[in-house]
Amino acid sequence: MSGYFQELYDGGKSLLVGMGITFKYMLQPVVTMQYPRQSVKMTPRYRGHIELVADEEGNNKCIVCGMCQRNCPSGCISLAGEKPEGSKKKVLTQYQLDFTTCSLCGSCVEGCPTDALDFSKEYNLAGLTRQEYIFDLLKRFEERKR
């Protein structure tokens, strides 16, 4: 019979301890962010997918040297360019990033001789198919420029 009362005592004690903790935290300010209505402020060092950087005139800095493509250990970058008639430099015509295989290592950003690549601050990527994560960075650059 004494074991029965001991269990009642222990159960009541643990209930009161738990309720004390609950009341203590109930009176403190809320630290949970209400996600869809509030968003997280990204730190300056956040590394999302890569994006093209504009020069002073608003054009992309890429000279189509292919160093980013060669430095990528994942092989997720493909780019193409053409040399317009009468021009000395190549012009970027296609820059695709397969973000499904990107490891975010930063080798492409570090290896770019003209600093034409930087990390994006975009963090809330959601999609239903793999094709939604194959980014045309040149097209995204042109849309961002407008």
The region of weakest confidence among 21-25, 38-42, 98-102 is 38-42
Q: Identify the pLDDT of residue 37.
A: 87
Q: Return the percentage of the chain with pLDDT > 70, whole number.
A: 99
For the chain, how big is the Rg over CA atoms in Å? Answer: 27
Please state the pTM of the whole predicted model.
Answer: 0.71
The Cα 129–Cα 127 span in angstroms is 6
- Across the range 41-64, mean pLDDT stands at 90
| 6 lies in some domain | no
- Quick count: other Cβ atoms within 10 Å of Cβ 119? 15
| 125 lies in some domain | yes
- Across the range 53-58, mean pLDDT stands at 90
| 15 lies in some domain | no
For residues 135 and 107, the answer to whether their CB atoms sit within 8 Å is no
Q: Decide if pLDDT at 64 tops 90.
A: yes
- Across the range 87-100, mean pLDDT stands at 92
| 108 lies in some domain | yes
| 4 lies in some domain | no
| 7 lies in some domain | no
In the block, tokens 């992309």 appear at: 60
Q: What is the CATH number of the domain that holds 74?
A: 3.30.70.3270
Q: Decide if pLDDT at 146 tops 90.
A: no
Q: What is the mean pLDDT of the chain?
A: 91
- Across the range 4-28, mean pLDDT stands at 93
For residues 138 and 52, the answer to whether their CB atoms sit within 8 Å is yes
Domain range for 124 is: 50-145
| 87 lies in some domain | yes
Going by pLDDT thresholds of 50, 70 and 90, the confidence category of residue 1 is low
Q: Identify the pLDDT of residue 42.
A: 82
Q: Decide if pLDDT at 77 tops 80.
A: yes
Instruction: Provide the terminal-to-terminal Cα distance of the chain, rounded to the nearest Å.
Output: 81
Q: What is the tally of structural domains in the chain?
A: 1
